[in-house]
Amino acid sequence: MLTKTKIALAAALILGGLGSAALADQSDDRGGSVVPGSMDGVNPAYHPGIFRNANTAKAYGFVDTHHGWTANQSAR
pLDDT tens-digit profile of 35-63? 777 778 778 888 888 888 889 888 888 88
CA dist 72 and 20 (Å) reads: 45
Quick check: 34 and 47 in contact, CB under 8 A?
A: yes
CA dist 18 and 52 (Å) reads: 39
pLDDT tens-digit profile of 16-32? 766 655 555 555 555 56
